[in-house]
Amino acid sequence: MLSSAARPRVLAKHFARLLFLPVLAACGADEPVVSNVVPDNVVTQVALDPPSASITLGANLTIRATALNSSGKEVVGQTFTWASSAPAIVSVTASGVATAVAVGNATITGTTSGVSGSASINVTSAPQDTVVASVTVTPATASLPIGASTTLGASALNAAGELISGKVFTWTTSAPAIATVSSSGVVTGVSAGSATISAATGGKSASAVISVSTGADTVIANIVMQPASTSLVVGSTATLGAIARNAAGQILGGKTFTWSSATPNVASVSSAGVVTGVAIGGPVAVTAAAEGKSATAAVTVVATPSSSGTITVNSAQQFQTMTGWEALMEIGQAECDPRAYQTYRNEVLDRAAFEVGINRIRLGLRAGFENPVDYWPMYRPGGQLTFNQWEITWFQVVNDNNDPFVINPAGFNFGYLDYTIEQLILPLRQRLQSRGEDLWVTVSYTGARSPTGVLHRDNPEEYAELVLATFQHIQQKYGFYPNSLELVNEPNIGGWPPVNIANNLLAAARRLRAAGFFPQFVGPTASGLVATTQMFDQMMLVPGVKQTLNEISWHRFGTTTQADLTAIAQRAAANGMRTAMLEHGGSGHDHLHEDLTFGNVSAWQQFGLAFCGTIDSASMYFLVSGAKVGENNPVVNIGRETKYLRQYFRYVALRAVRLGATSADARFAPVAFRNANGKYVVVVKASAGGSFTVGGLPAGLYGIDYTTVADYMKPLADVQITSAQSITTTIPDSGVLTIYAK
């Protein structure tokens, strides 16, 4: 978010920003990646990542080629040949590494099976400021058992804090008898003890402390199965995953698991964890064991759906698990008329919980919370400050002390945070709990562009101190702590290097876990999917990020193609993470449906929950007329796109699993879910009116309602079906229809 406020001038910034974001090259992929389907191995297109880039003289860029079939699914095992249209400007190796030779433009082509894809590379002069001012080594500390290795990362920064590419580092160790280091930063434990590993370039250096142990930290403390339960039809397969962790919760690689099935004549399992449905039955306990520890997953085998129709639900295909329909916790509590706010507040919360189904909230963790002065009561109710004067203080950071490991409570102010929690978050949670749901709370660091925010950007332990102080305050005062930490809001606009975000992530995780907090970690949340992908790839070079980051998040500004969404979903799957689209004023159900099926998003946000005004730019779920300062006749109106989003949000609960769903009629695009209580939901995005049937649903009673331009939440008669029956229904016009188990 550009601001925790949602005034028209703030919203205007969102739309003005679109003009300056890069336009992405579209590259195919017309269908979502679907598991348990035999792929078409005929290559019809090749996608290069990135499709375009600008690099400086002497810099290298690794281009990744992906072969796709006609359904947009990757055809694995392909060998690519590489060529440059201008080798004197950009050369390219046999593995796709492009090197900038001279200023100019060149097209890099990757070819396989007679099909090619291309990337446009622009080579610019080296930046003027290439003088190394500082060096960073990540992580700053690490532990290794004897004989194990880890790779350290090194970054060179200029005086402006910008990354300098193309620098070669000299690596040294203070104690080669304890830990050795290669020329590329690979550290290997030799004997028990501690060694300092240093990286130097341009006359500057930095170091990391490596502790080598006898290997006790490689002992498996527990094993986790992923997923913990699944179902598949007779004759189909599913791959289970097993993760071993030590007592500190760290993932242990290189472990070999023994797989077994309690009832192999119902569900058998291979030595690689591939489960095959043999006969109808279950749940069957499938076990993975290693070094005396084990874990089980429950596998249920079902019959091939006997009912089919225009739309067929396939419960054996399972995709993402949902972590919430999100809104910025903004309803005009600080900017709209305070009398009107007290009048409309409860209605907004009621409708958010019971009508629309908002179940995830983004709560701003402002950089200026680290400041001994609490300006909120000076603005409201004190009246000593105007709104603009208060706004200036949001991101003014004053360090609590010079020791990031000693929190001075007097150096932090949480007045506005407390007001928002008490006025909005706790009441919304109570409403959701009354209907059997819960509220997912994310705190999001905001203030990336603050000049004083460099305290948190450049010093991971100072960043971690602010995060820890916030979590402790919320826990101590309200008895809960946030479900997730969003690392930083739009770091690309604020100029945060990816290595800094990575270091802040690792520092915050260490401090929080040591204090007994175990939230999910979300990032990097750049303002654009391509920018997010690039930052994520750089973050992943820092050891420990893969094991710590849980959700890859972005804001959907700029052009977003289905190929871009597929690529980020593939990155998430490869690293055991989720994806989330967490802001785009102007997005509606078309974008949501695309993000769900191509990007596999687990969370999705348009923008703010509500605000005073009448201009509907599809940025607020609710608009409140008659509530601006000086007005006190509030009327709560639902947003034009919220009506359609509600057809998804209201029925798909936290921790629902998206299932396979296909359609034989392009007019009716489905997504299907199974909620945590076992009840199914099918949402159909209709591009035109018409009738259709839905097959593959379990027996039971189903409700149906739809939204079109003319009708909102229009109910149809309930339908009772057996397991062999389909549901036939009709939507009179384009819109969204939902079928949900009662």
DSSP string for residues in 338-396: HHHHHHHHHHHHHIIIIII---EEEEEEEGGGSSS---HHHHTTS-SS-HHHHHHTTT-
Model confidence at 305, pLDDT cuts 50, 70, 90, reads low
**Average pLDDT for 419-444:** 96
In the predicted structure, residue 338 carries a pLDDT above the cut 50: yes
Q: Which of 609, 633, 604 is nearest to 619 (CA)?
A: 609
Indicate the domain borders of the chain. Answer: 31-124, 134-217, 228-303, 329-649, 657-741
**Average pLDDT for 618-632:** 96
pLDDT tens column, 489-529: 999 999 999 999 999 999 999 999 999 999 999 999 999 99
* 697 burial level (CB within 10 Å; 0-12, 13-18, 19+): buried
For domain 657-741, say whether CATH 2.40.30.20 is its number. Answer: no
- The rounded distance, in Å, linking the Cα atoms of 465 and 407 is 7
- The rounded distance, in Å, linking the Cα atoms of 199 and 637 is 59
> Whole-angstrom distance between the N-terminal and C-terminal Cα of the chain?
37
- The rounded distance, in Å, linking the Cα atoms of 119 and 86 is 13
Q: For all residues of the chain together, what is the average pLDDT? A: 88
pLDDT tens column, 711-724: 999 999 999 999 88
Cis, peptide link before residue 264, omega less than 30° from 0? no
Strand partners for 200: 170, 205
Per-residue b or e along 161-176, where b marks 16 or more CB atoms closer than 10 Å to that residue's CB: eeebbebebebebebe
If one compares 234 and 725, the residue with the highest pLDDT of the two is 725
In the CATH scheme, what is the code of domain 31-124? Answer: 2.60.40.1080
- Please give the pLDDT value at position 253: 61
Fold of 228-303: Immunoglobulin-like (2.60.40)
Hunting for tokens 């599913």 — which residue is that?
238
pLDDT tens column, 650-674: 999 999 999 999 998 989 999 999 9
- The rounded distance, in Å, linking the Cα atoms of 650 and 641 is 14
In the predicted structure, residue 358 carries a pLDDT above the cut 70: yes
Domain 134-217 shares a fold with domain 228-303: yes
Instruction: Identify the CATH homologous superfamily for domain 329-649.
Output: Glycosidases (3.20.20.80)
Judge whether 363 and 326 are in contact, CB under 8 Å: no
- The rounded distance, in Å, linking the Cα atoms of 671 and 419 is 38
Q: To 5 degrees, how large is the angle CA 361–CA 19–CA 524?
A: 40
- Please give the pLDDT value at position 34: 31
- The rounded distance, in Å, linking the Cα atoms of 564 and 560 is 6
CB atoms within 10 A of CB 630: 8
Q: Which CATH architecture has domain 134-217?
A: Sandwich (2.60)
Question: What is the number of alpha carbons within 13 Å of residue 134 lying toward its C-beta?
Answer: 7
In the predicted structure, residue 556 carries a pLDDT above the cut 90: yes
Q: What is the 3-state secondary structure (H, E, C) of 505-540?
A: HHHHHHHHHHCCCCCEEEEEEEECHHHHHHHHHHHC
